Amino acid sequence: MPHFLLVKVRESRRAGYRLSQAGNEASGSDLYVTLEPCSTTGRTPPCTDAIIKAGIRRVFVGCLDPNPAHAGRGVEILRSAGIETSSGIEEEQCRRLNEAFFKWITTRIPFVLLKMAMTLDGKTATEGGVSKWITGPAARMRVQKLRRWADAIMVGGETARVDRPSLNVRFPANWPFQPRRIVATSSMTEESLQELLPSGRTPEIFNYKKESWSDFLLRLGSENMTSLLIEGGSELAASALNAGIVDRIEFHVAPLLLGGKDSRPVLGGQSPVSLSEALKLKDLSIRKLGCDFIFSGRPER
């Protein structure tokens, strides 16, 4: 019976490291990767070299590298080395898994996910800002997974002041790749934010009154940030949506009715005068998670 080496990584560029861990056990194995193995030297040596050296028998590739300079090259190198290589395996799912990397590698701008928690009537907190906890344990664990996915996490200044969120991965404990913490504010300093959010690296400031969203995202992309998770509040969420920089939304909706005209809405900003101004979503999916519902979709530009 052949060995099966299943590599579950966000991108297959980490395959070389996994293969080195497997050692001689990898010889004669079948290798499954979500993304075409890299064929050039960057921060790490080419994964194609590691695969050939390990004696892999067959390689199953989810999707090709979207970079035109690399697309198909890794597959060609492996086939030339006598390794049976197939591509397009569960391609749609693999593209979704790699969507942040794909956007960054082709645009040098990070993928932006807007996550908000709300009641069924569209409220995120009471008038005084109390929001713990709108959603249940399962949804909150989902947030931990999103934070593990993100290179950077952002909240607004009011959210930082009222909620004092950690903006880091708490589960599992001692997670080694903590995201950068960013607060969108025009009035706070890094020193005052460090007092508000003491757990983790010093929060950075995005002053949206002095720097545009496009310039900010270009700067993050130049610093190899492939994914940005925005967790609120309502004014920041509205600003990001109005700027057209959100690639996907994920709203966690709890079966609660908070009520109150002064309770805080999930989206702030200026009030529209017509329903034609409503932002439409495409590729919408809905699933139940614990007692809550997760709505995910892409804003139509």
pLDDT score for 17: 53
Question: What would the mean pLDDT of 75-93 be, rounded to a whole number?
Answer: 93
Cα separations in angstroms, 72 against 63, 89, 114, 224, 287? 10, 14, 33, 23, 35
Domain spans in the chain, listed from the N-terminal domain onward: 4-97, 99-299
Range from 23-27, 88-92, 252-256 that averages highest in pLDDT: 252-256
Higher pLDDT, 252 or 33: 252
Q: Is the peptide bond before 233 cis (omega within 30 degrees of 0)?
A: yes
Report the length, in residues, of the chain. Answer: 301
pLDDT in tens, 107-116: 999 999 999 9
pLDDT in tens, 240-275: 999 999 999 999 999 999 999 999 999 999 999 999
pLDDT in tens, 183-210: 999 888 888 888 888 877 789 999 988 8
Residue 254: Cβ within 10 Å count: 20
The pTM of this model reads 0.84
Backbone angles phi, psi at 298, to 5 degrees: -110, 125
Q: How far apart are the C-alpha atoms of 112 and 248, rounded to whole Å?
A: 7
The verdict on domain 99-299 having CATH code 3.10.350.10 is: no
Tokens at 125, concatenated: 């907190």
Cα separations in angstroms, 143 against 2, 72, 118, 126, 267? 38, 35, 14, 21, 19
Looking at the structure, give the CATH architecture of the domain made up of residues 4-97: 3-Layer(aba) Sandwich (3.40)
Q: How far apart are the C-alpha atoms of 85 and 60, rounded to whole Å?
A: 6
Nearest to 109 by CA among 5, 222, 187: 222
pLDDT score for 21: 75
Whether 15 has a pLDDT exceeding 70, the answer reads no
